[in-house]
Amino acid sequence: MTRTLGDITNELKEKVLSPAKEEAERMLAEARLEADRIILDAKKEASRITEEAKQKADVTVKQMEIDMDTAARNFILLVQERLEKTIVRPVTEDEIESTLSDKDFLSSIIQILIAEFSRVHGKDNKIEILLPSRHKEALEEWFVNKFLQRATKGVVVHFSDKVAFGFKMGFGDTGRYFNFGEGLVEVFSEFCSPRFRKHFFAPDKDS
């Protein structure tokens, strides 16, 4: 049987071209699937990166807010502290120094302290009083005339450059002194500071 050109053509299509076409279509389909997978993975990765960046940005913003809040609080505390130092302590010191400059008040305080010490520890114990050297001329004669003549025996009075105002009092031979000047300023400043803060830095009721 003689094979015609048509037979050969059909045979080529059936045995060569058709399988090749099917293989090409299969490979193309697989390539499309792979391309779709790559695109999907890329979108997922892009979404993940975007989400991570957003989370990092949120964390950064929150940390900045915390840092700013902390800085603001520290600034307020610093302002409070400086205001207390420039207002509370100077005012307290002026008032106490003015009060202790009153000779009659000073005499009354010292007499009360000596009387109380003598009552508890006996009249024979040494009591040493230190007064400001800068007020020696004004206080020395007054102190002798107005106070020491009536004071308990064993009272010794000195004028010292270490006393800015008020007085210091030492009992016995301990070498320790109670500071009724700067010590009172410290005590009253600590007492007044919370009240100063409460008055000048009261929280906003509308906040």
Q: What are phi and psi of 102, to 5 degrees?
A: -75, 115
pTM: 0.51
Arithmetic mean of pLDDT over the chain: 76
89 and 16 inside one domain: yes
- For residue 67, pLDDT beyond 70: yes
Query: Which residue, of 46, 69, 100, is where some domain finishes?
Result: 100
165 and 112 inside one domain: yes
108 and 87 inside one domain: no
pLDDT > 90: percent of the chain? 0
31 and 78 inside one domain: yes
Q: 88 with 189: CB under 8 angstroms?
A: yes
- For residue 160, pLDDT beyond 70: yes
85 and 4 inside one domain: yes
- For residue 65, pLDDT beyond 80: yes
Q: Give a yes or no: residue 188 inside a domain.
A: no
25 and 117 inside one domain: no
76 and 170 inside one domain: no
Q: 92 with 185: CB under 8 angstroms?
A: yes
Count of Cβ atoms closer than 10 Å to residue 107 Cβ: 16
Task: For residue 29, give both structure tokens.
Answer: 């389909």
Range of the domain at 117: 102-175
pLDDT at 207: 45
Q: Give a yes or no: residue 197 inside a domain.
A: no
What total number of domains does the chain contain? 2
Residue pointed to by tokens 């009387």: 115
pLDDT tens digits, one per residue of 5-27: 556 566 655 665 666 677 777 78
